[in-house]
Amino acid sequence: MEQHKIYPALVEWRDATNVSIGWHDGVEDHLDTRIQTIGFVIGEDEMNVVISHSLGDTGLSFDAFIIPKGCIINIYKIPVSEGGDGEDKAQI
72: domain CATH number is 2.30.30
Residue 4 is predicted with a pLDDT of: 73
| 75: exposed, middle or buried (Cβ count in 10 Å: 0-12, 13-18, 19+) | middle
For residue 70, report the phi and psi dihedrals to the nearest 5 degrees: -65, -15
Residue 91 is predicted with a pLDDT of: 45
| 55: exposed, middle or buried (Cβ count in 10 Å: 0-12, 13-18, 19+) | middle
61 band by pLDDT with thresholds 50, 70 and 90: confident
Q: How confident is the prediction for the chain on average, in pLDDT? A: 81
Q: Which domain holds residue 46?
A: 7-16+33-90
Number of structural domains found in the chain: 1
Percent share of the chain, pLDDT over 70: 71
Cα dihedral sign, 80-84-87-91: negative
Residues 6 or more apart whose Cβ sits within 8 Å of residue 86: none
